[in-house]
Chain A
Amino acid sequence: MTTLAIHNARIIDPELNLDGIADIVLVDGHVARIGPNEAEMVIDAERIDATGLVVSAGFVDLHCHLREPGFEYKETIATGTSAAAHGGFTTVCAMPNTSPPMDSQASIESLLRQIEQSAQVRVLPIGCITVGREGNELAPAGELVDSGVVALSDDGDAVADAALMQAALSYSSLFNLPVSQHAEDPSLVSDGQMHEGWVSTRLGLRGRPSSAEEIFVARDIALAEVTGGHLHIAHVSTAGSVSLIAAAKARGVNVTAEVTPHHLTLTHELVAFNTNYREIDYNASAKVNPPLRVDSDLEALGVGIRDGIIDAIATDHAPHSLSDKEIEFDLAAPGISMLETAFALSMTRVHDGTFPLGTLIRSLTSAPVRAWDLDKRTGISGLGTLAPGAPADLVIFDPDINWTVEPSKFLSKGKNTPLTGRTLKGKILVTISAGKIVYSDSAVAGRLRLSDRSEGI
């Protein structure tokens, strides 16, 4: 029997309506007890003093790119899940745009074997909506569900054809499987490099207008309404999308949504400007699809999280090699390496008062689990919570520590971030997955580790 006892933490679990100082005891990979002085009662335990720190369930990411198989030079399951642990994530859903893409039982099974061997945290696979992600015919959803996928997505590209998207939503309803759409109308974003607005005009870059996203969000909501299928909108980026999703939810449409930490906090100005509005640059580390938008979008997205219109914060962790980014802006690969900055970047909106810490934790833990029924789908009860019997997946953080983003310290192979040198407030100190410490901050590890005070009793 292995026991881990965490003393004197501020334990926050919105699902359990919990926010207070208590101890938490983990036994054999599960949460055993939460309560005052519970830790003192156990013997023969590894102990952590979490005085002044926050403990919550480990974070659950509905959207990341682990790149394996096929793009191991960008990321592997081993490095991507180490990055996840570093960022406080204990469950990540892996997008299927690998090579080969995850569109068959064989490819999923081979992926699961690789996960078994090298993953540091729980990885749940997502399957393709269409064969080869080519947008022509449906991938075998039934076969993919049996293999263990938790959702379908052609992320990176939208399913452009409306009839095919309707069929995908209709057919997936057989399995209550979410269909996660990368909502951007290709006819409006072909060759588009960044948000269409004054900055793209300034730089002479082709734009990706907000309307391209909103048209597909509106269209796909209509298709979900007609079919009853579960539509999930990946990386919502515009105020217009938030309104459409709010109205659809109010009508009872089966729709869920996620926003990324970067769309919640950064604008298109970051592509061109650093310190002033005269000197420009072409900062490919801020190139991402959908693109970073404008202040009014950030405001609406913040309200979306505050009010639960947007269910989850998901990272869209998109690691790339230096050579994928250090080229002409038009040729640079879109995406941001996000797992290791997601929590602290999202904390910006807690510190600025947009939503409380409990809401942030909910959107990183229980809300994504609910959005995709991940507990039922995986048979892991209590996933995303600290309920007794839940997996011992949790994170210890300090919401008020300032730290500076240095990509060289990322555990991800992808050092592609527009946040280099930026000071963020809020730091992950320990991540525990299935009762095992998978990450601990070297600066505080010694201080947190307690000797077993109950020895000799």
Chain B
Amino acid sequence: MVTNDSERPVEPLVGQSAEGALGTASQDVVWNHDHVLDLDDFLYEEIESVISLAGKMREVLDRRIARAPILRGFTVINLFFEPSTRTRASFELAGKVLGADVISVSANTSSVVKGESLIDTVKTLSAMTADVIVMRHEMSGAPYLASRHTRASVINAGDGSHAHPTQALLDIYTLKQRLGDLKDKKIVMVGDISHSRVARSGMWGFSAMGANVVLCGPPTLLPSGFAVSDRPEHARTALPDVDIETDIDVAIKDADVVMALRLQKERQQGGLLPSLHEYSRLYQVTAERLSKAKNNHILMHPGPKNEGIEIGGDVASGSNSTIEEQVTNGVAVRMALLYLIAQRNQRGN
């Protein structure tokens, strides 16, 4: 990784101004990432570091004038190959609150047809001295390719059906605020597991925090491979140890956390479901079903939600729901990640 300070001066990110802005800086931050591509390579301590820093960032956000310009001179480029409102706005806001220069670029894969490949695009952006490229792409693995061809740090803001690590981190942060420790908590993700990058990153993150993860959905949306018994002995640890359950009532029983996943309406057209009505009858997270979860259970949804399909409208806005908190916490977590990457780059690691 080439350091940014070798190319141009960057104002100090740590020290007086940062500590002043954030209160006392944590001394025992553990962070070893040039890129944030998924949570599969995150240690428990690293996730704790992000969450603890996100707490400080959350305090900044809750101020009357939410500004802590500790990333002045730092450039963040949002490179979105797929439309997104909330994730993109969240990263823009995160960068701006910290005083970074934030540019958003909408791209599409059809530019490949015009001869500009993904590699060309990220090389061009890093030549413009981008420090961080936040990337959303409709195809799994695209940020991995990008990260090998740029000096900038790549943050995966969602790639195909593969990963959405910042979503998982903000979910962990939100849960820790409510539950404290996640150890041995039962976390159930319900819905289209097959196409869900939220579920894939979530299972890594929640498992790293010691939670018991249950995946629940119809068999057509629950691919083989997630159950340990689907993998050969030598590949037991290639995915986190999770439980699989097709019956939502069994899955939700005694759950501490229930996360309803967004159901893309194309799944019905693709022949994976008979009808959205039938899906909602069999898999909608409803008040009645949640009554079998623990009393103080938490209900999550990564958004944007289809009320009346994967989640009942009454429960989505109920007191157990963290859906709005998740949004605010998302900004805080992304601020924390930008700060950690900037600090690492400045140290020249």
Contacts and interface: CB of A to CB of B under 8 A. Distances in A.
Q: Are A and B genuine complex partners?
A: yes
Interface of A: 196-205, 207, 269, 273, 277-282, 294-295, 323, 326-331
B117 A323 contact: yes
Contacts of A282: 140-141, 144-145
B141 to A, nearest CB: 3
Interface string B119-148: 100000000000000000101111011000
A280 to B, nearest CB: 7
Contact of A203 (B109, B162, B235): B162
A277 B230 CA distance: 15
B18 interface: no
Contacts of A199: 225, 238
Nearest to A326: B119
Given A198-B230, A205-B140, A280-B38, 9 more contacts: A196-B223, A198-B235, A200-B225, A201-B239, A202-B238, A202-B239, A205-B161, A277-B235, A331-B109
A348 to B, nearest CB: 18
Contacts of B223: 196, 200-201, 207
Interface string B190-204: 000001010010000
Contacts of B225: 197-202
B232 interface: yes
B242 to A, nearest CB: 12
B46 interface: no
Interface string B136-172: 0101111011000000000000011111000000000
Contacts of A331: 109, 112, 139
Given A278-B41, A327-B112, A203 B117 contact: no
Given A198-B224, A204-B160, A204-B163, A329 B234 contact: no
Contacts of A326: 117, 119, 145
B6 interface: no
Contacts of B118: 327-328
A204 B117 contact: no
B226 interface: yes
A299 to B, nearest CB: 13
Contact of A328 (B40, B137, B163): B137
A331 B109 CA distance: 9
B231 interface: yes
Contact of B200 (A196, A200, A204): A204
Contact of A201 (B40, B142, B144, B224): B224
A202 B230 CA distance: 12
A278 B119 contact: no
B167 to A, nearest CB: 14
Interface residues of B, number: 35
A327 B145 CA distance: 7
A330 B40 CA distance: 22
A93 to B, nearest CB: 33
B237 interface: yes
8 contacts: A196-B223, A198-B230, A198-B231, A199-B238, A203-B141, A205-B140, A278-B41, A323-B117
Contacts of B238: 198-199, 202, 273, 277-278
A199 B231 CA distance: 9
A279 B41 contact: yes
A196 B225 CA distance: 9
Contact of A278 (B139, B226, B237): B237
Most buried by B among A204, A269, A295: A204
Contacts of A328: 109, 118, 137, 139, 141-142, 145
Give 6 closest A-B pairs by Cβ, nearest first: A201-B225, A198-B225, A282-B141, A204-B162, A204-B161, A277-B238
B138 to A, nearest CB: 8
B304 to A, nearest CB: 20
B277 to A, nearest CB: 26
Nearest to B222: A201
A440 to B, nearest CB: 37
Contacts of A277: 234-235, 237-238
B268 to A, nearest CB: 17
Contacts of A197: 224-225
Contact of A281 (B144, B200, B226): B144
B40 A203 contact: no
B39 to A, nearest CB: 12
A330 B139 contact: yes
A233 B109 CA distance: 35
A294 B232 CA distance: 10
Contacts of A269: 235
A204 B239 CA distance: 12
B219 to A, nearest CB: 13
B147 to A, nearest CB: 10
A204 B119 contact: no
A330 to B, nearest CB: 4
B193 to A, nearest CB: 9
Given A282-B141, A327-B118, A330-B139, A295 B232 contact: yes
Nearest to B117: A327
B44 to A, nearest CB: 14
A278 B204 CA distance: 11
A320 B200 CA distance: 32
A13 B301 CA distance: 67
Nearest to A323: B117
A204 B197 contact: yes
A92 B110 CA distance: 37
B226 A201 contact: yes
Nearest to B230: A198
Given A201-B225, A323-B117, A330 B112 contact: no
A294 B230 CA distance: 12
Nearest to B144: A282
A26 to B, nearest CB: 49
A295 B239 CA distance: 19
B53 to A, nearest CB: 24
A434 B197 CA distance: 57
Contacts of B239: 198, 201-202
Contacts of A279: 41
B75 to A, nearest CB: 24
A416 to B, nearest CB: 15
A204 B230 CA distance: 16
Contacts of A205: 140-141, 160-162
A201 B228 CA distance: 12
Nearest to B199: A204
B40 A278 contact: yes
B140 A329 contact: yes
A273 B223 CA distance: 20
Nearest to B226: A201
A203 B162 CA distance: 6
Contacts of B112: 327, 331
B329 to A, nearest CB: 24
Contacts of B141: 203-205, 282, 328-329
Contacts of B38: 280
Contacts of B162: 203-205
Interface string B306-328: 00000000000000000000000
Contacts of B235: 198, 269, 277
A203 B200 CA distance: 9
Contacts of B109: 328, 331
